[in-house]
Chain A
C-alpha cells in the first residue's frame, strides 16, 4: 500500500534545517513549544466543534433545531460567543474551600485530558507522544482525571460536589477495568502496545473486521465503558443536574469551570479517538480487498481526514447513546459494570486469546 501523506520526512527536514543554524537543544525546545501550542489550539478548536455538534445533535434527537441565531442561519458563532463570555467571567474563590486543592483540581483534569489527547495517532508520522507502551500510557494518564474530579469535589466543601465526586470516583474506577480489559483484548490481537504499530497492523483490515465477532463485542463494551469514563449520559450521575446542581464542579466559575467543561468534551473525543485507533484502523483508509481502483482512490484521502472522520462518526454514536437513554442510578451503574460488562469483557479477552493462538483471526 502506498503512503502519500507520510509526515515523517517533512518533520525530519524541519528538524535538520533548524539544527543547521542553532544548537540541537534549542531546536528541540522550539519544536516542543510549537507542538505544545499546536496541541492547545487543536484542543480548543475541537472543543468548540464538539460543543456545537453536541448542541445540534442533541437538538435533532429532541426534534428541535438547536442554536440558529448567532452567526447566520446555522448559529455557527454561538459557541465562540459562549467561549468569549466564559473567558470574561470572574473566578470566585470560596471562603471555606481548601484553596490550593480547589485551584489545582481543574488543572489536573485538563492535564490528564491533554496528555491522552497528545497520544492520538493523527496521521502517519503525525503522532505527538510516541512510545512503545503508548496505549498503556493512555490508560495511565486518563486516570489522573479522576483524581482531579475527586479533589474538586472534596475541596469545594459542599455536599453536592462531594456526592458528585464520590459517585464519579466509584464509577470511573469500576469502568476503568472494562476499558483496560477491552484495550488488552485489542493488544492481544495486535501483539503490540505501540499506538502507531497498532494502526500500522490494520493496513490489511481494521481490527473490527480482523477480530470479527469478538472484536465487535469488545468495541461495544469499550464504547459503554468509555461513555462512563467520560462522565457522559447515561452515566452522567456525577453531575446529575436534577439532584446535584452540577455535581463535582458546582462551586467552580469562570474559566475553572470552563476547564472541566472542555475536558468533558475532549474526553469524549479522546474516547472516540482511542476507539478509532484500536478498532477502526486509526488513520488507515478503508480498503476492500479486490477493488483496487476503489482502494487507490481511498489512499488519496489524507490519513488525518480518515482519523478525524472516523472519530467523529464514533462521537456521533456516543451522542446518540447519550441522548437516547435515561440516567442510571449509582447501584445500577455498578451492577452493570460488575455483573455484566466485566464478566463479558473477561470472556471476550479469553476468546480473543484463544482465537489468536489458534489463528482464528484474519
Chain B
C-alpha cells in the first residue's frame, strides 16, 4: 500500500517536471520564431500583405478604352441590403433603332456598405468586384459617396 502510494507520488513528480519542460521548450520555440506583428504604416509599401479575398471597397474595372461591363440591369441595386448602390440609367437607341438601357451613373456609398458581397455575386457580367484598397478613412461623409463608372465610359462591345 505504502509502496504504491510512494510510486504514485514519484511518478506524479516526474510527469509534472516533464510536462513543465515540454512547456518551456514550446515557448522557447515561439520566442525564436519570426514575429507576426505587422508594423503597419512603415510596411505599407514593403511587407504589407492583404488577402486577395479581402473586401475593402467596391470598384468597377475599366479597360484601356474606358469600357466597363455594366449592362445596367440593376440586380446589384435590388439585392443590396443597405441601399448602398444607386444606378442612374437612360434608354438609348442604337444605330438599328433598338432601344437599350445604358448606365449613366453608378453611385456607391462606402459609408453604408457592409461588404456582404451580394452585389458582386449577383452581377451577371462580373462588372464589379471588391478591391484591396482598405485605407478609406476620410474626414467628411460626402467623400464616401463614390461614383464607380468613369467619366465618359461606355459598355464594352
Contacts and interface: CB of A to CB of B under 8 A. Distances in A.
Given A60-B31, A320-B28, A340-B13, A325 B20 contact: yes
A65 B39 contact: yes
Contacts of A340: 13, 16
A335 to B, nearest CB: 11
Contacts of B31: 57, 60-61, 320
Given A60-B31, A61-B30, A320 B24 contact: yes
Contact of B27 (A59, A64, A68, A320): A320
Interface string A287-319: 000000000000000000000000000000000
A323 B24 CA distance: 9
**B: interface residue count bin:** 10 to 19
A64 B28 contact: no
A203 interface: no
B34 to A, nearest CB: 8
Contact of B33 (A59, A63, A65, A324): A63
Contacts of A93: none
11 contacts: A59-B35, A60-B31, A61-B31, A62-B30, A63-B30, A65-B37, A320-B24, A320-B31, A324-B23, A324-B26, A340-B13
A61 B36 contact: no
Given A60-B31, A61-B30, A63-B33, A321 B24 contact: yes
A68 B30 contact: no
A340 B11 CA distance: 12
Nearest to B27: A324
Nearest to A69: B39
A225 to B, nearest CB: 15
A65 B33 CA distance: 11
**A: interface residue count bin:** 10 to 19
Q: Which of A68, A320, A321, A324 has the most chain B CB within a 10 Å cutoff?
A: A324
Interface of B: 13, 16, 20, 23-24, 26-28, 30-31, 33, 35-37, 39
B35 A64 contact: yes
A64 B36 contact: yes
Contacts of B23: 324-325
Contacts of B28: 320
A333 to B, nearest CB: 14
A63 B28 CA distance: 10
Contacts of A321: 24
Nearest to B33: A63
A65 B27 CA distance: 15
Interface in A309-351: 320-321, 323-325, 340
A65 to B, nearest CB: 4
B37 A64 contact: yes
Contacts of A65: 35, 37, 39
A344 to B, nearest CB: 8
A314 to B, nearest CB: 15
A60 B36 CA distance: 10
A68 B35 CA distance: 13
A59 B35 CA distance: 9
A196 to B, nearest CB: 34
A57 B37 CA distance: 14
Nearest to A220: B17
